[in-house]
């Protein structure tokens, strides 16, 4: 399991090359006392006398509060002993001195996660990922795991799926990912530990399906999704998950799934988005526009409803309102190539050459992955056509 693996890693795996105790010319009795304490603490740590090492490192920090070595070794010892509150306090001191130390931010975040300080933990995991964690793969995977879990809990489902993809890119799915994947796919803002007993099998089945979709085991995924809609026909999120899968393979069949999801979950934004996209493909622009506008009211800061509303307006001959919506979509999320393509065509049609050139340059900057074709789904995870 991801968490258990991390907790058994030896301290040597977390050592920073730059944390070197340089030889000091004794300048005072206080300096000598600190050096002696640090040496004794490190000797105790090396000999696995960890309780004694913790006591000595604490004394060393009392004499020299800004000692990176003492803070780091004390923080990691407390962390390994699962004394998370004390580890958190020490690691906080350490990162004020070493804000570039990604592994320290990671251990701080994990400690806060264990203490249920979830917003702080997510913030510090993001600091760890930004700073980098080197080649410490077990630590990286543990951080990714917790980030997947927390993004789902904070209803940032698209980002959670993106992080899940990053984990899967590093190897075969860990069984521990099943529940986080299921919660993200069903868009349930819960931690795995918070799943009610009567929903455990639902979440597990959805999780297996999501993992099979992400790893392109489509035959298994389709079987699991069919079982999901059969066994849990009235559960929120189930029909959307199946519909999102069908969009890529059997788009006409996805319409009924999105419509059924909206019967069960009237405020489901992405079911409206996906359904509106399918209706645009069928040239039912009035119905598509109504759904997109409903989605905008429910979630005005999401790019995809604005984009689809813009497409529907333009198709109906209302270029002015269409361009406004498309510009809103682009400004909310400049990484969605489809909105840039829509605007490029609209600007060319309107003779707005400078605006059209700007969109062309934006498409080129996005790179081949998203800009080679104006096609693509309207979900807010445009890179992954099969993502739920």
CATH class of the 155-265 domain in this structure = mainly alpha
CA 189 to chain centre: 13
pLDDT value of position 135: 86
pLDDT value of position 248: 86
pLDDT value of position 2: 53
Helix (H, G, I), strand (E, B) or coil at 254: helix
| pTM for the model | 0.83
pLDDT value of position 291: 98
* Angle, vertex CA 337, rays to CA 334 and CA 343, nearest 5: 85
pLDDT value of position 383: 32
pLDDT value of position 121: 98
Asked whether the CA dihedral 72, 78, 84, 90 is positive or negative, the reply is negative
Task: Compute the distance between CA of residue 178 and CA of residue 195 in angstroms, rounded to an integer.
Answer: 13
Residues of the chain with pLDDT below 50 are 1, 4-13, 20-26, 369-375, 381-388
pLDDT value of position 29: 55
Count of C-beta atoms within a 10 Å radius of residue 166: 14
Q: Can you identify the CATH homologous superfamily of domain 1-18+29-151?
A: Tetratricopeptide repeat domain (1.25.40.10)
For tokens 């001195």, what's the residue? 97
pLDDT value of position 41: 87
Task: Compute the distance between CA of residue 256 and CA of residue 239 in angstroms, rounded to an integer.
Answer: 9
Maximal CA-CA distance, the chain: 85
pLDDT value of position 271: 97
Ranges for all domains in the chain classified under CATH 1.25.40.10:
1-18+29-151
């Amino acid at each position: 399991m991801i968490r258990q693996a991390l907790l058994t890693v030896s301290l040597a795996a977390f050592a920073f090359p730059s944390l070197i105790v340089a030889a000091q010319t004794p300048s005072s009795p206080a300096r000598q006392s600190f050096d002696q304490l640090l040496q004794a603490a490190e000797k105790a740590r090396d000999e696995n006398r960890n309780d004694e090492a913790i006591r000595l490192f604490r004394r060393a920090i009392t004499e020299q509060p800004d000692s990176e070595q003492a803070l780091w070794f004390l923080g990691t010892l407390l962390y390994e002993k699962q004394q998370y509150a004390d580890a958190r306090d020490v690691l906080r001191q350490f990162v004020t001195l070493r804000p570039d130390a990604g592994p320290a931010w990671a251990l701080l975040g994990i400690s806060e996660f264990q203490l249920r300080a979830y917003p702080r933990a997510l913030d510090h995991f993001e600091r760890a990922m930004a700073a980098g964690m080197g080649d410490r793969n077990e630590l990286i995977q543990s951080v990714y795991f917790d980030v997947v879990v927390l993004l789902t809990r904070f209803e940032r489902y698209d980002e959670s799926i993106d992080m899940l993809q990053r984990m899967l890119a590093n190897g075969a799915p860990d069984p521990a990912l099943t529940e986080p994947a299921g919660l993200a796919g069903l868009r349930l803002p819960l931690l795995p530990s918070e799943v009610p007993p009567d929903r455990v099998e639902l979440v597990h089945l959805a999780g297996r399906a999501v993992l099979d979709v992400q790893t392109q085991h489509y035959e298994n995924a389709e079987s699991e999704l069919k079982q999901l809609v059969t066994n849990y026909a009235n559960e929120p999120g189930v029909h959307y998950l199946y519909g999102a899968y069908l969009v890529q393979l059997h788009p006409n069949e996805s319409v009924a799934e999105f419509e059924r999801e909206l019967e069960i979950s009237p405020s489901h934004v992405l079911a409206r988005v996906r359904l509106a996209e399918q209706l645009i493909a069928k040239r039912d622009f009035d119905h598509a526009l109504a759904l997109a506008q409903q989605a905008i009211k429910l979630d005005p800061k999401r790019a995809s409803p604005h984009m689809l509303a813009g497409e529907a307006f333009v198709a109906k001959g209302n270029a002015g309102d269409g361009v406004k919506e498309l510009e809103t979509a682009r400004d909310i999320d400049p990484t969605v190539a489809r909105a840039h393509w829509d605007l490029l065509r609209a600007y060319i049609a309107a003779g707005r050459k400078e605006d059209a050139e700007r969109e062309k340059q934006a498409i080129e900057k996005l790179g081949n992955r998203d800009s080679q074709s104006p096609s693509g789904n309207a979900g807010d995870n445009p890179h992954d056509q099969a993502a739920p």
